[in-house]
């Protein structure tokens, strides 16, 4: 399956081979369990489903988790800087940077950011078994955090989504809002028993 996903991704990459392999290597690092090539594949395939066709939007999706260190607080900033450093002449690099940065707070600022955020958060509205695998993978990425600290931090994140009027912005994903809320509630219940 990984080879199929990688081939699918390769067909959608519009730039140089070395950059493609640099990104694949970043998303394949051994300390990643959710923010992997599989996640990249799902975000890009969701962009297609949601009508996200611009080069800037797709480039932002490719780079949004290119830098990912669970000990750091500036992954999105570093991912945005990496994109800007590798594409300094791209006329829409400012938009790419802003799109990547909005994945930190998951607050949309325009139609493209709504599409990117809905694609990035689509995992929340998957079948419960898939969602539980996602939640377990996130926990593995934070293996170094104590159970108590993880429970507190993760619960804050989940509650922040549940307190929103809407998690999703696009009509396609708004139709899956109730599923996402059920998954988030179920994870909160599991965390309460850690």
Tens of pLDDT, residues 110-157: 999 999 999 999 999 999 999 999 999 999 999 999 999 999 999 999
CB 149 within 8 A of CB 45: no
Q: What is the mean pLDDT of residues 88-97?
A: 95
pLDDT band at 2 (very low <50, low <70, confident <90, very high): low
Q: What is the rounded distance in angstroms from the CA atom of residue 5 to the CA atom of residue 105?
A: 28
Q: Report the pLDDT value the prediction gives residue 16, as an integer from 0 to 100.
A: 80
What is the model's pTM?
Answer: 0.93
Indicate if the pLDDT at residue 100 is higher than 80. Answer: yes
Which letter, b or e, does each residue of 13-36 get, where b requires 16 or more Cβ atoms within 10 Å of its Cβ?
beeeeeebeebeebbeeeebbbbb
CB 29 within 8 A of CB 23: no
Mean of the per-residue pLDDT values of the chain: 94
Indicate if the pLDDT at residue 3 is higher than 70. Answer: no
Q: Report the pLDDT value the prediction gives residue 15, as an integer from 0 to 100.
A: 78
């Amino acid at each position: 399956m990984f080879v199929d996903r990688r081939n699918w991704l390769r067909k959608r990459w519009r730039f140089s081979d070395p950059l493609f392999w640099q990104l694949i290597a970043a998303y394949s690092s051994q300390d990643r369990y959710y923010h992997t090539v599989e996640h990249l594949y799902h975000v890009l395939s969701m962009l297609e489903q949601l009508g996200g066709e611009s080069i800037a939007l797709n480039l932002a999706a490719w780079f949004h988790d290119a830098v990912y260190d669970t000990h750091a607080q500036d992954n999105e900033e570093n991912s945005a800087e990496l994109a800007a450093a590798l594409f300094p002449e791209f006329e829409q690099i400012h938009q790419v940077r802003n799109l990547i940065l909005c994945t930190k707070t998951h607050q949309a600022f325009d139609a493209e950011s709504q599409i990117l955020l809905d694609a990035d958060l689509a995992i929340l509205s998957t079948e419960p078994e898939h969602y539980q695998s996602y939640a377990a993978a996130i926990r593995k990425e934070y293996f170094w955090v104590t159970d108590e600290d993880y429970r507190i931090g993760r619960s804050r994140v989940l509650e922040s989504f549940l307190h929103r009027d809407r998690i999703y912005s696009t009509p396609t994903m708004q139709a899956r809002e109730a599923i996402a809320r059920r998954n988030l509630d179920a994870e909160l219940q599991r965390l309460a028993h850690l």
